[in-house]
Structure formats: structure tokens, C-alpha cells
């Protein structure tokens, strides 16, 4: 029965687009339907089901995660795929590995989209052909393309691929006043500039997110959105020296958030990690009230104050918290904490947790 809400679909708040009756599976075996029902939406591996079920299993999974996508395997009978999905605030990142396949989003499904997303495909291996707005572009490792889920599109993967797929709410960029339609299904990255920085940021974010607290993950999501905006400005021909500095500043902030616990995080090690000069770092922060070193210190103090005010960390000593966020000795930590927040760390904790 078409468009019937079934248990797996309801769990993901998605309308079933299968033409099969409950439990909305197109598999020869009930085993695959049971696996799909039990599977966490952020993880997928076709090795969980019989070989004969894998293409259908993948199709139903990708249709749910990516809001009604249709999938075909170019007529191949053998198929395998796996994926992991992580979140950085409102930004969704998925690492997908699969044999050749092609996904299509029809105009009718696009019109029913509840959450409008802009979607990015960035190959690690293989290639992808993105078709939308009457344009078609192909991207290979080191490149990426962006497209709009509120309009029809096709993404072709004619060989085995490993992709990073990033989804961010369309409103995060549309509200910035940039005309998006002419920029869809275009090639970015591969030749340096802001779009290459954006790709590095997305890849490193996916690698670091599993070990990142939720607040830091939200900051990474915001940084990705900012770099997307700057990349599209560059593509539209509006890039300036200022946008280049803004891109580097966002990259600096993301690196600092990810490495606060490293006591060796300094201006010099930061410049080395980002392959830029100290002068470039200082220029990137020229419009900020504090310099790079002060930014690192203030983020560490902010993170410490959050932990000191969190009752779930009552069992941790002041020393454990301070050293765990990159401070190398307690005398320095206590001095700068009192200077910035007006209280000794112990007094701050006592007042915050009353």
C-alpha cells in the first residue's frame, strides 16, 4: 500500500514512499525488514542482511535519511554499502561508501520536503555527477558540489565511491542574501581558495565530532555554514581579501575548539597546523577585540567555567579540569581565571553549584 506510515518510517518521522505493504520492505526475506527496523538511523551496513536484500535495504535507508531519495544500481545484482552519520548542531555529515549507484529526487518529492536543505557531495574516492537547474557537473577527490533538496536533482556514482555528504538547513545560507540558484550543481575546490579550506574543515569535522562535546559540535556546524557562505561568495565572484581572512579566522576558531585540551596549542603550533604564517593568523584576527593568543585563553576559561558550573562534574578536582583543558599549572590557571571572571575558581564553583 503506497505511502503507508510503517514502524521504521514513523521512527524517523518520514513518510514511506515504498509501494509495498507493511513493513514497507522490498526484500525477499523478512530478516532484512527486521534489521532495518532495529538499525540505528545514524549507522548503516548492508553486511547485516543477505546479499539478495542489500540493494533494497540500501534504497530504503537512503530514502529515509535523505528525505525520499530514489536509488538504482545501474541494473547490478551485486551491491554493498555502509555509512555513518554525525551531527554538528543543525549540520548533518555522512560518510558513505557504496558500489555504483544513482540517486534521484523528483520534483513531487522535493515539494513535500519539510526541512529544506542544501546538500554537498565531496568524494574521497571515485566521482559524482550532480545534475540540477539544467546543469551537470562532475566532481572528484579534492572537489565538491552543492545542490538544493527543494528542487529535483540526480547524483550519479558510476563507480565504487566513498563520499562525504553534508546537509545544512537552507535557511542558514539563504538568509544571508546570496542568490543560490545560479550556484547549484557547480564545481568547487580543487584549486585552492576558500572552497578548499571549506572541504578541509568538513573532513576534519567528521573525524573529530565523535570526541567532541555538543556545544563544540554546534560551533563546528556554524563554522561549516560560514565557510559554505564564503565559498559560494567566491564562486559567485564576490570573494575579496576580507572573505579570505574570514575563512581563515573560522578555520582558526574550529581548530582551537577541537584542540583546547592540548597544552601545546600556541600561536606557533596553530600556524604550523594550518600551514600559514603568524602574520596571517594575526591579520585574520585584526577585526577581533582580542588577538589569537587571547582567543585561545578565553575559550579555555569559558570551557573551564562551564565544567565548574556543571553538577555532573562535581567529582572532578579543579586541577583535573584545568589540566584537562590545556592549562599547564594551577598558579597560572587561578591567576587568569580570577582576572577574567572576578572570582577564584573554587569560589566560582561554590556559587555556581549552590
Would you call 235 helix, strand, or coil by DSSP? helix
The predicted pLDDT at position 15 comes to: 31
Closest Cα to residue 205, out of 221, 188, 228? 221
Number of domains in the chain: 3
Using CA atoms in the order 6, 9, 11, 14, what is the torsion angle rounded to 10 degrees? -130
Residues 207 and 237 reside in one and the same domain:
yes
Rounded Cα–Cα distance for residues 351 and 354 (Å): 6
pLDDT in tens, 23-73: 344 444 555 555 445 445 588 899 988 998 899 889 888 887 777 788 999
Residues 235 and 345 reside in one and the same domain:
no
pLDDT higher at 113 or 14: 113
Residues 209 and 327 reside in one and the same domain:
no
Which structural domain, as residue segments, surrounds residue 40?
1-65
Q: What is the mean pLDDT of the chain?
A: 82
Contact by Cβ (8 Å): 339, 345 = no
The predicted pLDDT at position 240 comes to: 61
Question: How buried is residue 157: exposed, middle or buried, by Cβ count under 10 Å (0-12/13-18/19+)?
Answer: buried
Residues 212 and 119 reside in one and the same domain:
yes
The predicted pLDDT at position 37 comes to: 52
pLDDT in tens, 63-101: 877 777 889 999 888 999 999 999 999 999 999 999 999
Contact by Cβ (8 Å): 225, 172 = yes
Output the CA–CA distances (angstroms, integers) from residue 206 to 84, 185, 211, 224, in the order listed: 10, 23, 10, 11
| Strand partners of residue 119 | 147, 167
Residues 241 and 271 reside in one and the same domain:
no
Residues 61 and 77 reside in one and the same domain:
no
Q: What is the mean pLDDT of residues 280-285?
A: 85
The predicted pLDDT at position 113 comes to: 65
Position 122 confidence tier, pLDDT thresholds 50, 70, 90? very high
pLDDT in tens, 198-237: 999 999 999 989 988 888 888 899 989 989 988 988 888 7
Position 352 confidence tier, pLDDT thresholds 50, 70, 90? confident
Q: Which three cell numbers stand for residue 246?
A: 574570514
Helix (H) or strand (E) run with residue 48 in it: none
Amino acid at each position: 500500500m503506497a505511502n503507508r506510515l510503517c514502524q521504521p518510517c514513523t521512527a524517523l518521522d518520514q513518510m514511506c514512499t515504498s509501494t509495498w505493504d507493511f513493513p514497507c520492505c522490498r526484500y525477499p526475506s523478512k530478516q532484512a525488514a527486521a534489521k532495518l527496523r532495529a538499525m540505528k538511523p545514524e549507522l548503516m551496513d548492508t553486511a547485516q542482511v543477505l546479499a539478495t536484500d542489500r540493494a533494497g535495504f540500501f534504497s530504503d535507508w537512503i530514502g529515509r535519511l535523505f528525505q525520499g531519495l530514489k536509488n538504482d544500481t545501474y541494473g547490478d545484482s551485486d551491491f554493498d554499502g555502509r555509512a555513518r552519520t554525525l551531527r554538528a548542531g543543525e549540520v548533518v555529515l555522512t560518510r558513505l561508501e557504496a558500489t555504483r549507484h544513482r540517486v534521484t529526487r523528483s520534483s513531487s518529492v522535493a515539494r513535500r520536503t519539510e526541512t529544506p536543505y542544501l546538500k554537498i557531495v565531496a568524494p574521497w574516492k571515485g566521482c559524482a555527477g550532480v545534475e540540477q537547474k539544467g546543469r551537470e557537473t562532475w566532481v572528484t577527490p579534492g572537489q565538491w558540489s552543492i545542490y538544493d533538496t527543494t528542487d529535483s536533482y540526480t547524483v550519479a556514482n558510476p563507480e565504487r565511491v566513498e563520499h562525504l555528504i553534508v546537509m545544512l538547513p537552507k535557511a542558514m545560507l539563504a538568509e544571508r542574501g546570496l542568490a543560490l540558484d545560479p550556484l547549484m550543481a557547480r564545481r568547487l575546490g580543487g584549486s585552492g581558495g576558500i572552497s578548499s579550506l571549506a572541504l578541509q574543515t568538513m573532513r576534519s569535522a567528521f573525524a573529530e565530532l565523535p570526541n567532541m562535546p555538543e556545544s563544540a559540535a554546534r560551533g563546528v556546524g556554524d563554522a561549516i555554514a560560514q565557510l559554505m557562505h564564503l565559498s559560494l561568495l567566491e564562486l559567485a565572484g564576490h570573494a575579496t581579501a576580507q572573505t579570505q581572512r574570514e575563512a581563515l579566522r573560522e578555520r582558526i576558531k574550529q581548530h582551537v575548539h577541537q584542540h583546547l585540551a592540548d597544552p601545546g596549542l600556541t600561536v606557533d603550533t596553530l600556524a604550523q597546523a594550518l600551514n600559514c604564517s603568524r602574520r596571517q593568523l594575526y591579520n585574520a584576527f585584526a577585526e577581533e577585540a582580542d588577538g589569537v593568543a587571547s582567543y585561545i585563553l578565553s575559550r579555555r576559561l569559558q570551557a573551564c567555567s562551564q565544567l565548574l558550573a556543571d553538577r555532573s562534574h562535581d567529582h572532578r578536582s579543579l586541577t583535573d579540569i584545568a589540566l584537562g583543558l590545556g592549562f599547564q599549572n594551577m598558579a597560572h590557571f587561578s591567576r587568569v581565571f580570577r582576572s577574567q571572571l572576578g572570582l577564584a575558581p573554587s569560589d566560582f564553583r561554590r556559587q555556581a553549584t549552590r
